[in-house]
């Protein structure tokens, strides 16, 4: 990934008010300075929670037998479990042989639980309330190729903010996957709605702060100007649904493209005489690559190859989940198109893959089951690596940080997920122990 390519985004800030000792903090909201986008507009009072002993996933490496104390919405203490004891009145979680990580971030999520963000952006908050059960605390709702009115509706949903009393994962902005895609790699997108950037050099959403990521094909006419304009505003621009050759791909990295959307899928492939976008993404350190590791989109051998080329700092996992995710096999819809879901995949009637019915935690588990990398490196692909691409402050387990945390076992299965200090992984219910006041 290139450094210094894009201006830093306004940081999301949280305001807290101290209550009585032992009662925690009140989280009174969040805002992005300089615009009206407020991804979090909730009020919640959280209690003191002790997590340990667990392995802590820290920036300088794992800390075995560690502990974290959550006071209200923030992390109060971090260290060795022998040095940090549960305070009187606190609730404790003792997950055996587990790891505490920053909350997961999914940069490509089209919908889930029967909801499709492209046709029903109002469902973003409903889906967001269920994402913590998969370890996700932040995400980009993804709108695929659709009429401009669909994008406008999605922007308005985020501008208006969540419903009163909302608890769930934070949408950090929109990922627009289309309409500037190549028909030769259309995937499950409606080709009749495709445009080229020279036809629409200044789309209506160009300056909308809610748009945080855009996938486009860099070989299309007018792509360079649009990429430069988006990059100047701080938008993450990603190459995808593209037949770009290696030369064009490397040129696009100079313009400001710093990512590839679902590596290997819907892009010019890896050929020994005509290396395409895949080759360019694998060999460059100026762009990271999103990867769907669901066992259907990409063979495990190609996942291993990607990690050997780029490592966990250059690969970020995405779910590419759509409405069928979280539900059983059957017929569903993606952007108005009928799809058929089996236990493991989702396809159009012609057999074309149409997103995934597996969530981000399932991808993490596949990575570990295939012995691609260590648990610590796998966690980077769903935490620090995607956060760095979005120019978000790197999620860390440090005192003072917002308590957005995920607990996983050795197989990557989610045991708990805290958003603003509250465990929302199982409708807020987990077995715990409350310590007495004396």
For 188-217, what is the mean pLDDT?
95
- Please check whether residue 244 is in contact with residue 276, taking contact to mean a CB–CB distance below 8 angstroms: yes
Q: Could you give the CA distance from residue 302 to residue 281 in angstroms, rounded to a whole number?
A: 13
Task: Supply the pLDDT for residue 350.
Answer: 81
Residue 309 has pLDDT above 60, yes or no: yes
Task: Supply the pLDDT for residue 46.
Answer: 53
Pairing of strands 337-341, 346-348: antiparallel
320 is catalytic: yes
Q: Could you give the CA distance from residue 43 to residue 26 in angstroms, rounded to a whole number?
A: 7
Residue 97 has pLDDT above 50, yes or no: yes
Q: Could you give the CA distance from residue 228 to residue 290 in angstroms, rounded to a whole number?
A: 21
Going by pLDDT thresholds of 50, 70 and 90, the confidence category of residue 414 is very high
- Please check whether residue 89 is in contact with residue 62, taking contact to mean a CB–CB distance below 8 angstroms: no
Start-to-end Cα distance in the chain? 53
- How many H-runs (helices) and E-runs (strands) does the chain carry? 9, 26
Q: Could you give the CA distance from residue 168 to residue 206 in angstroms, rounded to a whole number?
A: 28
Q: Could you give the CA distance from residue 116 to residue 98 in angstroms, rounded to a whole number?
A: 33
Q: For the CA atoms of the chain, what is the radius of gyration?
A: 21
**Comparison of pLDDT for 400 and 29, the residue scoring more:** 400
Q: Could you give the CA distance from residue 234 to residue 172 in angstroms, rounded to a whole number?
A: 13
Residue 146 has pLDDT above 70, yes or no: yes
**Comparison of pLDDT for 155 and 1, the residue scoring more:** 155
Query: What is the number of alpha carbons within 13 Å of residue 358 lying toward its C-beta?
Result: 20
Residue 152 has pLDDT above 80, yes or no: yes
- Please check whether residue 316 is in contact with residue 103, taking contact to mean a CB–CB distance below 8 angstroms: no
Residue with tokens 């940069």: 107
pTM (2 decimals)?
0.87
**Comparison of pLDDT for 434 and 97, the residue scoring more:** 97
In the chain, the domains with their CATH numbers are 12-101+396-430 (2.30.40.10), 104-389 (3.20.20.140)
| Residues 6+ positions from 130 with CB-CB distance below 8 Å | 112, 113, 168, 326
Annotated catalytic residue within 71, 116, 320, 420: 320
Q: Could you give the CA distance from residue 164 to residue 375 in angstroms, rounded to a whole number?
A: 37
Question: 10-24, 70-84, 166-180, 234-248 — which is least confidently predicted?
Answer: 10-24
Residue 24 has pLDDT above 50, yes or no: no
Residue 54 has pLDDT above 90, yes or no: yes
Residue 5 DSSP SS3: coil
Residue 281 DSSP SS3: helix
């Amino acid at each position: 990934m290139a450094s210094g390519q894009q201006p830093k985004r306004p940081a999301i800030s949280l305001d807290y008010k101290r209550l009585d000792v032992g009662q925690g903090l009140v989280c009174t909201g969040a805002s992005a300075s300089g615009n009206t986008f407020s991804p979090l507009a909730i009020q919640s009072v959280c209690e003191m929670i002790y997590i340990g002993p667990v392995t802590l996933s820290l920036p300088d490496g794992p800390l075995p037998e560690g502990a974290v104390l959550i006071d209200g919405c923030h992390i109060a203490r971090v260290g060795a479990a022998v040095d940090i004891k549960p305070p009187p009145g606190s609730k404790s979680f003792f997950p055996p042989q587990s790891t505490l990580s920053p909350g997961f971030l999914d940069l490509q999520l089209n919908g889930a639980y029967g909801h499709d963000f492209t046709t029903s952006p109002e469902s973003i908050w409903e889906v967001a309330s269920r994402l913590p059960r998969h370890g996700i605390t932040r995400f980009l709702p993804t709108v695929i190729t659709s009429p401009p009115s669909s994008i406008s509706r999605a922007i308005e949903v985020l501008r208006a903010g969540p419903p009163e009393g909302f608890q769930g994962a934070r949408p950090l902005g929109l990922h627009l996957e289309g309409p500037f895609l190549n028909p030769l790699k259309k995937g499950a997108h409606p080709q009749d709605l495709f445009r080229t950037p020279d036809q629409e050099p200044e789309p209506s959403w160009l300056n909308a702060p809610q748009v945080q990521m855009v996938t486009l094909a860099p070989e299309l006419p007018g792509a360079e100007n649009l990429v430069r304009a988006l990059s100047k505003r701080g938008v993450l621009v990603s190459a995808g649904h593209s037949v770009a050759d290696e030369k064009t791909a490397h040129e696009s990295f100079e313009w400001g493209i710093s990512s590839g959307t679902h590596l290997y899928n819907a892009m010019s492939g890896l050929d020994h005489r005509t290396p395409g976008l895949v080759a360019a993404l694998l060999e460059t350190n100026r762009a990271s690559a999103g990867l769907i590791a669901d066992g259907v989109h990409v063979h495990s051998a190609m996942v291993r190859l990607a990690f050997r080329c780029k490592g966990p700092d250059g690969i970020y996992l995405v779910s590419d989940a759509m409405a069928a995710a979280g539900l059983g096999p059957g017929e569903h819809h993606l952007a108005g198109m009928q799809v058929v879901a089996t236990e493991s995949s989702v396809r159009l009637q012609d057999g074309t893959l149409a997103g995934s019915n597996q969530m981000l935690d399932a991808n993490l588990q596949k990575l570990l089951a295939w012995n691609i990398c260590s648990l610590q490196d796998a966690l980077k692909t769903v935490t620090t690596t995607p956060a760095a691409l979005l120019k978000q402050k790197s999620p860390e387990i440090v005192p003072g940080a917002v308590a957005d945390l995920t607990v996983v076992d050795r197989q990557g299965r989610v045991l708990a997920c805290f958003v603003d200090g509250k465990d929302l992984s199982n409708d807020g219910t987990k077995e715990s122990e409350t310590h007495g006041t004396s």
